[in-house]
Amino acid sequence: MYIKCCGFKESKSIKAAVDNKVDAIGFITYPKSKRFVSVENIQILANNIPDEVDKVAVVVNPTSQEINDLVEQTSINTIQFHGDESIEFIKDTKRQYPQIKIFKAIPADQNLLENIQMYSEYVDLFLIDTPSKQYGGTGVSFDWSMLESIKDMPYLIAGGLDLEKIKHIETLDLNNTGYDISSGIESNGMKDITKIKTLLKELKG
């Protein structure tokens, strides 16, 4: 099970996640997000994350220069596109930075399967998230039964997840690779080290 914990802003919570076998740490570069961190902060925070943990920069409709700054100035190894990026833009990014993994967030709406097929050639892993005008971060879940038809395509479930919801999803007959958690490991808008440890010990042993 692949677990990505997202929206980190300080080193102590990152250390708690890494020490408890998280697979990926996510940093939000979208300025309108309450979890926003700058390229300079990512550079500092990502330095202490071991190589076996994916370091993910979450971007929303970025420019080519913004992608270049992240790749050149930080140690991230993954770009997660979370906006309305075109296939051409993602294709160009993959061609320009072949060492970088590409994640793509797709809203759980009526176009889900069509969008997955459209991007699949250029994406290493999908995140299926609750539809929203603010590009994720809603803390709200969606109807997971709509994922039953997704076969042979690696994806994480996102959208307001916590340990109890994940335990429920695990009883469903889905083919997801894992989960992306942000609000479910927070208290009062801040990462909660106890929640991080509890969730990862339960899911990663």
Instruction: Render pLDDT for 73-129 as a digit per residue (tens, 0 to 9).
Output: 999 999 999 999 999 999 999 999 999 999 999 999 999 999 999 999 999 999 999
pTM score:
0.95
For residue 137, pLDDT over 70 is answered with: no
Query: Are the C-beta atoms of 90 and 121 separated by less than 8 Å?
Result: no
For residue 49, pLDDT over 70 is answered with: yes
What's the pLDDT tens digit per position in 175-185?
A: 999 999 999 99
Q: How far apart are CA 4 and CA 53, in angstroms?
A: 9
What's the whole-number mean pLDDT along residues 145-167?
A: 95
What's the whole-number mean pLDDT along residues 4-33?
A: 97
Supply 162's token pair.
């916590």
- Who's near 97: CB < 8 A, 6+ residues apart? 67, 71, 79
**Average pLDDT of every residue of the chain:** 95
Query: Are the C-beta atoms of 48 and 11 separated by less than 8 Å?
Result: yes
What's the whole-number mean pLDDT along residues 146-173?
A: 95
Q: How far apart are CA 35 and CA 142, in angstroms?
A: 21
The structural domains of the chain, ordered by start, are: 2-204 (3.20.20.70)
Predicted local distance difference test score (pLDDT) of residue 205: 83
Q: Exposed, middle or buried: residue 187 (CB in 10 Å: 0-12, 13-18, 19+)?
A: exposed
